[in-house]
Structure 1
């Protein structure tokens, strides 16, 4: 499979899963804001690693992530209804900590900048 095709499939899977979480998932445990940041589908289209970023406090974040992991089967079923692929990939959800990591680095840089001004 050409690399550009996999990139298009990754982006389409990311967009559809984001739409499913936002509009179709009715789990009351999901209260925080969720952003699907990246999706990586394997070459054989059997697995998809989906990175989600969850905004909220620690307890809500964990409860939301657990609820998302429990609803992976529903997400997969909805994805199969929306996309015409040879195989519907099995969804593996991962937390994306890149935004928090970036905010931490920004805070460190601001602190260093503040020390130089003194």
Structure 2
């Protein structure tokens, strides 16, 4: 269970990282849309687990590029939130595959052959 302070920092970092990816990281990610889906803070606020989702392009390749540029992203984050936090947290980036999983499950469910309910069953109820 995260404390209120952890939740506050999580929201702040999620908002600022989203803004960084949208405005300042175009050279890194091109026209791909990057979404910061979730940020979890450690109890000492020293580490932020950041979950990213990509729309368009090769997901793993883009994630590797972003992960390699982690220092630059952290520096940009520090310039934005440096006056409101004591420590700029280390960023631990993770690929959020929940959207891809949901899309996969939707495809599996749509391929299922479910017979229609007969009229006799409907009359019994």
C-alpha displacement of 1:5: 2.1
* Bigger Rg, structure 1 or 2: 2
Aligned to 2:66: 68
Deviations 1:4-30 (A, max 9, x none): 221121111111001011101243454
Length, aligned pairs only: 113
For residues 1-118 of structure 1, what are the structure 2 equivalents within 5 Å?
Answer: 3-28=3-28, 30-57=30-57, 60-83=58-81, 84-112=84-112, 115-117=113-115
Contact residue 17 and residue 77 of structure 2 kept, 8 A = yes
Contact residue 52 and residue 96 of structure 2 kept, 8 A = yes
- If the length of structure 1 is used for normalisation, what is the TM-score? 0.84
Give unmatched runs, 5+ long, in structure 2.
Answer: 117-125
CA distance in 2, matches of 1:6, 1:76: 18
Q: CA RMSD in A?
A: 1.8
Contact residue 48 and residue 89 of structure 1 kept, 8 A = yes
CA distance in 2, matches of 1:117, 1:13: 48
- If the length of structure 2 is used for normalisation, what is the TM-score? 0.80
Contact residue 30 and residue 63 of structure 1 kept, 8 A = no
